[in-house]
Chain A
Amino acid sequence: NAGVTQTPKFQVLKTGQSMTLQCAQDMNHEYMSWYRQDPGMGLRLIHYSVGAGITDQGEVPNGYNVSRSTTEDFPLRLLSAAPSQTSVYFCASSYSGAWGHNEQFFGPGTRLTVL
């Protein structure tokens, strides 16, 4: 099992550009999510999905879009990049249910810089 994979590992954008961060998992997990990690702020939830075709907003969704057309993939789109979106982005997946007890598996992260 590859687990949770993310591409690219590093990316530099100019303000106003758009891009898609890719995330895939091969564990047949229903639940997938995107977090951003900023110094002194821990990880904050951007968007999440409880299954194919179902997505919802997290704590900091503005400027990001997601879709979930398959169980395996959960791409994160930046519509018009801003310097405030400079961050490290983590994708995570887990089984759903069990009332929040399930371990989440994290990808290696994408370090994004917006100039």
Chain B
Amino acid sequence: GDSVTQMEGPVTLSEEAFLTINCTYTATGYPSLFWYVQYPGEGLQLLLKATKADDKGSNKGFEATYRKETTSFHLEKGSVQVSDSAVYFCALSEGGATNKLIFGTGTLLAVQP
């Protein structure tokens, strides 16, 4: 079945460092891809999404490009802030009539001042 694999954490960075969190997927069809973020003690919220190959999603300085040839959707940010400390989840939607999401295991990001 469809699945999502993302890099293990925790990832610890200094403020203003460059961030990459790797995400690869396995899918039989043409999924939509998402990054959700979970701040401490809160539920998940959508960070960005891409619905077809070569789409780039972006929000709050974060970017990810839907690469069908490498089945990847890596999350990047050029300069992280302490406020970016959170757990980041890569997810795919199988499409069709439902919105079922398949999540990766999550990557904890800790940004130090």
Contact = CB atoms under 8 A, between A and B. Distances in A.
Nearest to B1: A59
A108 interface: yes
Contacts of B34: 103
A92 B99 CA distance: 10
A50 B96 CA distance: 12
B58 interface: no
Contacts of A103: 34, 46, 49
A40 B9 CA distance: 10
Nearest to A88: B43
Contacts of B81: none
A67 to B, nearest CB: 18
B28 interface: no
Contact of A101 (B4, B44, B45, B49): B49
A59 to B, nearest CB: 8
Contacts, number: 69
Nearest to A38: B105
B49 A33 contact: no
Contacts of A45: 100-101
Most chain A Cβ neighbours within 10 Å, of B44, B93, B105: B44
Contacts of B101: 43, 45, 92, 104
A101 B4 CA distance: 17
Interface string A94-115: 1011011111111111000000
24 contacts: A31-B99, A33-B100, A42-B89, A42-B103, A42-B104, A42-B105, A43-B101, A43-B103, A45-B100, A48-B98, A58-B100, A97-B97, A99-B95, A100-B32, A100-B96, A100-B99, A100-B100, A101-B93, A102-B99, A104-B46, A106-B36, A107-B43, A108-B41, A109-B42
